[in-house]
Structure 1
Amino acid sequence: MTDTAAGPRLKVAIVGGGFMAEVHSRAARNARAELAGIVSSTPQKSAVAAETLGIERAYDSLDQVLADDTIDVVHVCTPNALHAEQAAAVLAAGKHVVCEKPLTTTVPDAEALVAAVGDRTATVPFAYRFHPMVREARDRFASGAAGRVLTVNASYLQDWLLGADDDNWRVDSAAGGRSRAFADIGSHLVDLVEFVSGDRVSRVSATKKTFFTERASHSSITTEDAVAVVIETRSGGLGTLLVSQVAPGRKNRLLLEIAGSAESVAFDQEQPETLWIGKRKGSMLVPRDADQLSADAARLCVVPSGHPQGYQDAFNAFVADTYAAIAGADPDGLPRFTDGLRAVRVTEAVLDSAESGTWIEMGTEE
């Protein structure tokens, strides 16, 4: 770790050179880390990524990263099927790790990673937890103001794979895993449902569709374009989840509405500056104003009310809390590998239900 006049700075390496590597790099810089190196799929691509992102060193391989004793934390931003092996290698090298979701493509692999964490900090970027208004929604259930969970209406809709000409490595199960739409974005949705409500999904009944089995560069596609799920929660709540990557006009519409016995709470990620509170009398919109919010929500307000915050701000807060945990803090709501495992378990249950046509019980695992 490098000492500066302002205190120690973490030295960070990034694995992967795509869109998420850019997001992680901006967040690491915002948290005062030193971006020491990056490695992509080939030495040539590593060099391009280092130049593009302004990172000091291009490594030729992950082994080179892990052999560098100056690196404190590694951000794994590669295709899903690589996460388990790469994150395990980072942990075995004694380094802290941030691994993109889904944590792994199978439950046993995720369980193995959780078992391997030891005293390292290992987190998964469920970054939507870090919108201030999500924390405000969570506080209303945690404080009892919203009452007990009755119903859940949640969806995550995108359109970036709307046409047969739209393609990406994620459609290939060999690179992305058994699930695509649910593993990629449904995992965020379930995480928010459980995080905000404080309740757990207890069983699921799902159906899924692959509307395009042939795309520009892939054929015989089996990963799903859309999933619809009925859920029940441990407290007795009932809900529906809709996840789609083929919804025209929806770029990244994550909508969460939970009806409690006293009030409903609704958050729309495309309109993240307000939280809707629904009551029998006197429904209202709560603005992202630190003076009006719970302490946990207020601490995430990095600009004054009226100056919009967004996705990168939420991601920055996630990385900052991760680095604080590395320094010995225990930030509330930080998504760790146990949360990544939980998302993999729910994803597997959803796929099992869709393929068997039956309800799947989630059991009591946390």
Structure 2
Amino acid sequence: MVDRLRAGIIGAGFIGGVHAHAVRAAGGEVTRVAASSPDRSHEAAVRLGARTGAVSGEALIDADDVDVVHVCTPNSTHVALARRALAAGKSVICEKPLATTLDGARELASAAHGLVATVPFVYRFYPAAREIRARVHAGESGPLHLLHGAYLQDWQAAGAPAGWRGDAAEGGAHRAFADVGVHWCDLVEFSSGHRITRLQAATAGGGTASTVQFETDTGATGSVVVSQTALGRRNALRISLDGERAAYRFDQEAPEAVRIGGIDGDRTLHRGSPSSSEAAARYSMLPPGHPQGYQDCFNAFVADTYSAVHGGAPDGLPTFADGLRAAALTDAVIRSSESSTWVEVPS
């Protein structure tokens, strides 16, 4: 393995560009890019700063100058591409959802055994999220009893086209939950230490909105509203973890602070505060007052993945096992919505 990791990016849309920026921030090099045709691959290579374009995703995976394969293609193609990359012994970063079916996610999680294979649940990499996690795990909140919030977007409002995501064969069923609802669940489970064990869901708007009630393995209850047709909500991922002695609130649209509710009053803890935890400080890359955002989180995620490729073991790195967990939650939401009943979430 070379010291400077060489990345191949399959898929050259918005998220492919995010990956390309993160590769360079992590000290890697984008050697190859594959788009939907050789001509588009060449154009994407110029745009994303890659060494060359690849004639296909499969050719990119097989190339000798690619150490890490970034799968940034429509959801229905993830399994075949990630499977091929893992079979070649290469490290993989695969966009979520890992697969459009639970069986597909199980296959990839099993195939990834012994390899570095990660999923970009990047909201874990906000310092505020690490701060909440550290405080909950230290016992500051006491037992958590209510986990609630929402993930709201408006990019499909007023009949706006959904592209391939609107096609169930390409994007999967119940697409809003599979696309962004799993981000909410991952962040809540990661920061709280709880696992959702059973849920009841209702889905509407052709899969553009879901409401979910749930219970956790430690006796807490909760709920989340997920929508991609909520006017005025650009990317409103909001969580509240409510405990016996403290409650913690995070809003991705205002990510520089944690709101802490207490018996004696409420306070706001800003990123870079002297009282911040070591876990949060590790991901605070800029001086306080210089806002960090989504791309910074993505950069940190890719840097931790590349550290793992080199033999490190970064705390909280989301792997294909977490991608499988997200697929299990999505499957439970689909089953509950179709049956109008509470269902168990596979462990």
Which band: TM-score by shorter chain? Answer: over 0.9
- 1:125 corresponds in structure 2 to 120
Q: Which residue is equivalent to 1:143?
A: 138
Give runs of ≥4 in structure 1 deviating > 3 Å: none
What aligned pairs does 1:211-226 form with structure 2 within 5 A after superposition?
Answer: 223-226=206-209
C-alpha displacement of 1:262? 1.2
Identify the residue that residue 275 of structure 1 maps to in structure 2: 258
For 2:277, the equivalent position in structure 1 comes to: 294
Partner of 2:233: 250
Give the aligned partner of residue 245 of structure 2.
262
In 1: Cα distance, 2:303 partner to 2:274 partner: 22
Q: Does 1:185 align with 2:180?
A: yes
Q: Separation in 2 of the partners of 1:19 and 1:290? A: 33
Q: Could you tell me which of 310, 324, 328 is aligned with 1:345?
A: 328
Amino acid of the residue matched to residue 205 of structure 1? Answer: Q
Structure 1 distance, partners of 2:273, 2:296, is 15
Q: CA deviation at 1:129?
A: 0.2
Q: How far has the Cα of 1:290 moved from its partner?
A: 5.3
The equivalent residue for 2:197 is 202
Residue 305 of structure 1 corresponds to 288
Contact 2:152/2:227 (8 A) holds in 1:
yes
User: How far apart, in 1, do the equivalents of 2:144 and 2:324 lie?
Assistant: 24
Q: Does 1:334 align with 2:329?
A: no
* Kept in 2: contact 1:159–1:246 (CA 8 A): yes
Counterpart residue identity of residue 155, structure 1: A
Give the secondary-structure state (helix, strand or coil) at the position aligned to 1:325.
helix
In the alignment, the residues of structure 1 paired with residue 62 and residue 212 of structure 2 have an alpha-carbon distance, to the nearest angstrom, of: 44
**Superposed displacement of residue 147, structure 1:** 1.3
What is the CA distance between 1:119 and its match in structure 2? 2.1
The TM-score normalised by the length of structure 2 is: 0.98
Whether 2:315 is the aligned partner of 1:320: answer: no
Offset at residue 48 of structure 1 (A): 1.5
Q: For residue 170 of structure 1, what is the amino acid of its counterpart? A: R
Task: Kindly provide the amino acid, as one letter, of the partner of residue 16 in structure 2.
Answer: A
Aligned residue pair count: 347
Question: Which residue matches 1:55?
Answer: 50
Deviations 1:188-212 (A, max 9, x none): 00001100100000100010101xx
Q: From 88, 91, 95, give the equivalent of 2:86.
A: 91
Q: Deviations over 1:112-139 (max 9, x none)?
A: 1111113210000000000000000111
User: In angstroms, what is the RMSD of aligned CA positions?
Assistant: 1.0
- Structure 1 CA distance for aligned equivalents of residues 196 and 234 of structure 2: 27
Segments of structure 2 that go 5 or more residues without pairing to the other structure are none
- Check conservation: 1:204, 1:361, Cα contact below 8 A: yes
Looking at structure 1, the residues matched to 336 and 146 of structure 2 have their Cα atoms a distance apart, in angstroms, of 21
Match of 1:25 among 17, 20, 25: 20
Question: Does the CA contact (< 8 Å) of 1:15 and 1:75 recur in 2?
Answer: yes
- For 2:242 and 2:236, the matched residues in 1 are separated by 19
Q: Is 2:214 the partner of 1:231?
A: yes
The TM-score with structure 1 as length reference comes to 0.93
How far apart, in 2, do the equivalents of 1:26 and 1:337 lie?
A: 22
The answer to whether the Cα contact below 8 Å between 2:58 and 2:81 also exists between their aligned partners in 1 is: no
Is this contact kept in 1: 2:8–2:68, CA < 8 A? yes
Moved more, 157-166 or 326-335: 157-166
Is the 2:9–2:70 Cα contact (8 Å) retained in structure 1? yes
Letter of the structure 1 residue corresponding to residue 304 of structure 2: D
Bigger shift: residues 49-58 or 14-23: 49-58
State the shift of 1:282 in Å. 2.3
